[in-house]
Amino acid sequence: MESLILKDVKKSYGEHEAVKGISFSVEEGEVFGLIGPNGSGKTTTLRMISTLLRVTSGSITVCGHDVMTESDNVRKEISYLPEDAGAYKNLTGRGYLKFMAGFFAEGDDFEKMVERGMELADLGSRIDSKVDTYSKGMARRLLIARAIMPSPRVAIMDEVTSGLDVINAYEIREVIRNIAKGGVTILMSSHNMFEVDMLCDRVAMIDDGRLILTGTPADLKERYHAPNLEEVFVKAVKG
């Protein structure tokens, strides 16, 4: 079953066309990578899927719901973690999760959601420290926990390891793998093609708002006789 379907999606800002008719689908339970250089249209595409930007033309369907006509239903199925997301620094990690859970649940469901968030964050005793004392890796774990604790069917993550050191990025990738094993469909964008190669079942490559390649990392590397996705992308762009 397909969790996400894009058909000839375009996004224009005045005369500038940022996304130029892209089409792809993501299967339920899949980890799907949207990759390309900065300014290629990745974030714009994620924001359209998340109902934060209006589609200029084409269609996007999320879990059977059209983003244009059923945006409220789409929002019930997804979580979106933007690259520049932040938590309230004057709250503790536990306090932040409780604050966010209050938008989704109450009573026993609220308590269960907070417990799930703390389990996902896996911050130990630091869950009761203020967020402004967290490292970048700890803060990112908290934000991922916030995004996943309401049990979305589709988790959308934009440059989720951006700015993290090697160890923290490795740990966040492990968190994402575990989330995917729990049955959540994950759509992630990244300019880090090594990371996408390690994490994703399939990838879509975007350049200048156009989709240039789609496939599994292994298939794309074989097709272009390349040792990594970075070289695949360069060869595909140069034609």
Cβ contacts of 213 within 8 Å, gap of 6 or more: 203, 204, 205, 220, 232, 233, 236
Are 8 and 57 within 8 A, CB to CB? yes
Are 11 and 19 within 8 A, CB to CB? yes
Report which of residues 126 and 160 the model is more confident about: 126
- pLDDT tens digit sequence for 47-82: 999 999 999 999 999 999 999 999 999 999 999 999
pLDDT attached to residue 144? 95
Q: Is 227 exposed, middle or buried (0-12, 13-18, 19+ CB in 10 A)?
A: exposed
> By three-state DSSP, how is residue 130 classified?
strand
pTM for the structure as a whole = 0.91
Name the token pair of 138.
Answer: 């700890």
Does the structure show a pLDDT above 80 at 106?
Answer: yes
User: Where along the chain do its domains lie?
Assistant: 24-238
Distance set, CA 9 to CA 49, 54, 146 (Å): 10, 11, 29
For CA atoms 53, 177, 161, 235, the dihedral sign is negative
Task: Determine how many CB atoms are found less than 10 A away from the CB of residue 33.
Answer: 26
Q: Mean pLDDT over all residues of the chain?
A: 94
Write out the H or E segment, with its range, that includes residue 178: helix 166-181
Q: What percent of the chain has pLDDT over 70?
A: 100
Q: If you ran DSSP here, which 8-state letter would residue 152 be given?
A: -
> By three-state DSSP, how is residue 42 classified?
helix
CATH fold of the domain at 24-238 = Rossmann fold (3.40.50)
Mean pLDDT on 185-211: 92
pLDDT attached to residue 66? 97
Dist CA 61 CA 59 (whole Å): 7
pLDDT attached to residue 138? 94
Dist CA 224 CA 235 (whole Å): 7
